[in-house]
């Protein structure tokens, strides 16, 4: 049986659910209702799985809870319908056998369809991930946090900012067609520039909602020529829509509103997968 690669799986889920919305599963006991992590995630997933193009667990929130958190992560992955891709937000990157172990952990042990990685150590640190041809690799390019400018905006001798070099290198390394980039919604001009450099790559775009990114700019600059391959990820705004017993229903309401807002902003209101006339 042939395994569907990440890009095909992403596009299929996006078109089926008419959605570019990725829901981040970042369980924080201080913000959650009184419920265990696995059950919380299960209820969120069940309430939103017809609205999302992907789910994105951030490993930090599970690792912070020790062994029980990792067990909850395993259960969470099993709760997600198999046709919806799962992005392991781990931001890994290291040398040699360490990077191989990270890739094995994310792709083989946990079974994520894609992972976020850091390019700081260079190409050899990412090769163990890239060689998994059926998996998606999202390289940190221009992130949504304030401190991103400390390094990512630094100009080289010819004036080119470092994040552009990352985008160009990612394009060179994309020999298997499985590389994407992480570009924040809080930096629309940089997003526009990255999309022009990598017109066909999938872009993972955090920063909408709690971080204040502008949705119209994300749609204008983030989608590809077909109005797809922008994975707009939202976490806190959806999963913490309520701390009461109705948290899953509240999450669905917010997710549906976001999905519809995204679709309304698409060029000529063409939904993912619709043919343009």
Q: 196: how many CB neighbours lie within 10 A of its CB?
A: 11
The DSSP code for 32 is S
β pairing state of 230-234 and 203-205: parallel
Distance CA 75, CA 38 (A): 6
Catalytic residue among 91, 100, 169, 192: 91
Conformational region of residue 96, where left means phi above 0, alpha means psi within -120 to 50, and beta covers everything else = left
Q: Which of 198, 87, 177, 84 is nearest to 133 (CA)?
A: 177
Token pair of 29 as six digits: 């006991």
8 A C-beta contact, residue 240 and residue 31? yes
8 A C-beta contact, residue 148 and residue 119? no
Does residue 169 have an active-site annotation?
A: no
Active-site residues, by number, are: 91
């Amino acid at each position: 049986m042939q395994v569907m690669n990440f890009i095909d799986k992403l596009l299929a889920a996006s078109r089926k659910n008419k959605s570019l919305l990725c829901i981040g599963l970042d369980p924080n006991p201080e913000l959650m209702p009184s419920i265990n992590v696995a059950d919380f995630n299960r209820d969120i997933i069940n309430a939103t799985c017809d609205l999302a193009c992907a789910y994105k667990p951030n490993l930090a929130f599970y690792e912070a809870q020790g062994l029980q958190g990792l067990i909850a992560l395993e259960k969470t992955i099993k709760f997600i319908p198999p046709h919806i891709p799962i992005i392991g937000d781990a931001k890994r990157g290291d040398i040699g056998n360490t990077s191989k172990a990270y890739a094995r952990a994310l792709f083989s042990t946990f079974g994520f369809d894609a992972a976020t990685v850091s390019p700081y150590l260079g190409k050899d640190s990412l090769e163990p991930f890239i060689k998994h041809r059926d998996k998606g690799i999202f390289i940190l390019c221009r992130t949504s946090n304030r401190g991103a400018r400390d390094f990512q905006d630094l100009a080289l001798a010819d004036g080119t900012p470092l994040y552009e070099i990352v985008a160009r290198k990612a394009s060179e390394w994309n020999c298997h067609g499985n590389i994407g980039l992480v570009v924040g919604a809080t930096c629309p001009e940089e997003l526009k520039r990255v999309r022009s450099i990598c017109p066909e790559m999938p872009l993972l775009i955090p920063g909408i909602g709690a971080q204040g990114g502008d949705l119209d700019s994300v749609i204008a600059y983030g989608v590809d020529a077909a109005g797809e391959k922008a994975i707009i990820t939202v976490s806190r705004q959806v999963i913490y829509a309520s701390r009461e017993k109705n948290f899953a229903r509240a999450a669905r309401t917010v997710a549906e509103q976001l999905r519809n807002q995204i679709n309304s902003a698409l060029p000529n209101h063409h939904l993912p997968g619709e043919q343009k006339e």
